[in-house]
Amino acid sequence: MRKSTLFKVASQSILKNKLRTLLTMLGIVIGVGAVIVMVAIGHGAQSQIESQIKGLGTNLIMVMPGSFNGGGVSQGAGAFNRLTVEDADKVKQQSTMLAAVSPVITTRAQVIGGTGNWRTMINGVSPDYLTIRDWGLSSGEMFTDADVKSSRKVALIGATVAKNLFPDGVDVGAQIQIGHVPFTVGGVLIAKGQNAGGQDQDDVILMPYTTAQNRLSGNIRLGQILASTFNPNDIPAAQDEIKGIMRDAHRLADGADDDFTVRNQTEIAEAATKTTSVMTGLLAAIASISLLVGGIGIMNIMLVSVTERTREIGIRMAIGARGSDVLTQFLVESIVMSVMGGLVGLAIGFGGAMLLAHITGWTVSTPTSAVLIAVGFSGAVGVFFGYYPARKAAGLNPIQALRYE
């Protein structure tokens, strides 16, 4: 039987009972649609997290306080802080692979200025900080190394802080009070939005780290040291170099554990997206069960169709049709129904994902691989669940089939 004739006969048979065909396809439609929606949500969440991680900075490396083990009891990461400005200076001076290094001193304070007041995060940093974080200014300019040396009372305010203190707009040179200390606004940072942890990156004020130490926190220990490499490929080697410099600075003996932690941007991204990937796979697997249910529905209807068309099968075989022709015909009908259901489910899945994104504001993204897998799997379901009914039809005895009532 020619392929054109085969598809024509299969299409006529499918369209003969439109309602039954629609109900048969419903399981496949729901299954494919559910898979597409789940994957779109999961992949969109991963993309958003990756984008937020990239927003942390360019080729970012973080040096943080390490753990402490006293009397056999571990106090956990960050419990033992020996990070100092001298450490940051040594890393910057001795490293050969870093483009920028900045100490970070963190505290919180109440800020008064303009027409409001706001409690926010204060970060004492060096001029390299904006380079490391790949952050720009919407107005004003970054403070200089001279400002750091003189502990100048200048502050760069984030977009959220600017909005709450100066709803009508802020001018460079405006005066604010942080704690009990007056500061001059040196500029406003470009809005970055939330980070991967959901924290508002714009709810911050930057100032020279010496000013933060001497005027606000009084703490000689650093919250962290940030650095960035010239090239992303240099990050692993740069981490090893930083560890060597830090161990030497802290006079750690050979074999002694590090009293600091060095992490990079890739590790942060992998940790943040791992849970999302697992949940996406789990949800897609659950949604795929609908495809199996739809396949069982196709098999049931095809078995009914074989019974209803027994005499037709007998006539076809009596006039020369081979068993393979009958098998192919029924198998094509099953595949066509399954693939049609897959395509309809695909359209519904795309529409559902876009509607959900519009209602909730979530980011959705459907990878091409998921589309191909969903439609391909729906076709495979048609082959798998359609083969037995097709095989049963091909195995009918022509004489008995003609006598069937």
pTM over 0.85: no
pLDDT tens per residue across span 70-113: 444 445 454 567 889 999 999 999 999 999 999 999 999 999 99
User: Per-residue DSSP letters for 268-317?
Assistant: HHHHHHHHHHHHHHHHHHHHHHHHHHHHHHHHHHHHHHHHHTHHHHHHHH
Do 317 and 214 share a structural domain? Answer: no
Q: How far apart are CA 3 and CA 336, in angstroms?
A: 13
**Cα 153 from Cα 148, distance rounded (Å):** 9
Say if CB 91 and CB 246 are below 8 A apart.
Answer: yes
Whether 45 and 116 share a structural domain: no
- The answer on 212 and 158 residing in a single domain is yes
Q: Is residue 72 part of a domain?
A: no
The answer, yes or no, to whether residue 398 has pLDDT greater than 50, is yes
- What integer pLDDT is reported at residue 73 of this predicted model? 44
Residue 73 lies in a domain: no
The answer for residues whose C-beta is within 8 angstroms of residue 346's C-beta and 6 or more apart is: 32, 33, 36, 371, 374, 375
pLDDT digits (tens, 9 = 90+) for 217-240: 777 889 899 999 988 888 889 999
Domain of 37 in residue numbering reads as 3-52+272-403
Dihedral in degrees, nearest 10, Cα atoms 227, 233, 237, 242 = 0
Mean pLDDT of 157-182: 92
Number of structural domains (the chain) is 2
pLDDT band at 328 (very low <50, low <70, confident <90, very high): confident
Are 265 and 6 contacting, i.e. CB atoms less than 8 angstroms apart?
no
In a domain, 189, yes or no: yes
In a domain, 26, yes or no: yes
12-41 confidence digits (pLDDT tens): 777 777 777 787 788 888 888 888 888 888
Instruction: List, in sequence order, every residue forming a beta bridge with 351; answer none if it has no partner.
Output: none
Q: Which is more confident, 287 or 219?
A: 219
The answer to whether residues 391 and 306 belong to one domain is: yes
Residue 129 to residue 222: CA distance in whole angstroms: 14
- Cβ neighbours around 23 below 10 Å, total: 12
What is the percent of the chain with per-residue pLDDT over 70, rounded to a whole number?
83
Selected residue with higher pLDDT from 93 and 368 = 93
Q: What is the pLDDT of residue 80?
A: 61
